[in-house]
Structure formats: C-alpha cells, structure tokens
Amino acid sequence: MPTYDYQCDACGHELEIFQPITESPKRKCPSCGRQKLRRLLGSGAAVVFKGSGFYQTDYRSESYKKRAAADKPAGDAASSGSSNDAAASGSSNDAGKASKSKPTGKVSTEK
C-alpha cells in the first residue's frame, strides 16, 4: 500500500496517509474539519534505500571467495596478513600455483 501526501487548501495542513490504491482520496481535513483536503502529486512508488547500502560482492558464495583468494598474487596475500601457508612458503609452491591458475592464453617458451 502506498503512502499519499495530502494538503488542506483551507488551513495549509500537510499530512501523509497510508491507504490502498483502490480507496478514494480523502476530502476532510483532520486539522480544521473542512472538505478542502487534496491529494498531492508525488514521486510515485520509488525504491528508497536507507542505510549505508550494499555491494554486489557482499553475498558471494564460499567457493567464489576461495577461488578469488587463490587468484591473488603471493605478494598480496602475504601483505594482507593472510595465514595461507602456500603464500608464506615462498617460491617452492609457485610452480604448483601456476598449474592451478586459469589459462592466460600466453604460450610459454620455457623447456
């Protein structure tokens, strides 16, 4: 049910009324009692966001978070205070990481 804005033409009283769309507009002013109340044109039923908001990544699945953490370079994981043992051990696991990462389309020239 929408909220409608009303204003009395007689006394200038303004109010909001929460009423169904099918209900006819109110006419009697609750302040002065005269039949001069009219419904104002509003912005309509717009979406109102209150608070600090949200981001698309706020509700990611655990599998996505694990893949994203695995895709980070070793320097980023170590500097962020991560307790990932593979990132902390250095270059000995870098070869294993490269085989698990997504293909980049580049051809390796090493033999």
Q: Which residue has the higher pLDDT, 107 or 24?
A: 24
Burial group, residue 97, by CB count within 10 angstroms (0-12, 13-18, 19+): middle
Does residue 11 lie in a domain region? yes
30: containing domain: 3-39
- pLDDT of residue 96 exceeding 70, the answer is no
Convert 68-92 to b/e letters by CB count within 10 Å (16 or more is b). Answer: eeeeeebeebeeeeeeeeebeeeee
Return the pLDDT at 91. Answer: 46
Q: The tokens of 70 are what?
A: 């695995």
At 94, list the tokens.
């870098």
- Identify whether 51 is part of a domain: no
DSSP label at 12? -
Residue 57 lies in a domain: no
The pLDDT assigned to 6 comes to: 94
pTM for this prediction: 0.40
- pLDDT, residue 53, reads 67
Asked if residue 46 is part of any domain, the answer here is no
Note the pLDDT tens digit of each residue in 18-76: 999 899 999 999 999 999 999 998 765 566 666 666 666 666 778 888 888 888 876 65
Q: Is residue 59 part of a domain?
A: no
pLDDT for residue 62:
83
Three-class HEC string of 56-94: HHHHCCHHHHHHHHHHCCHHHHHHCCCCCHHHHCCHHHH
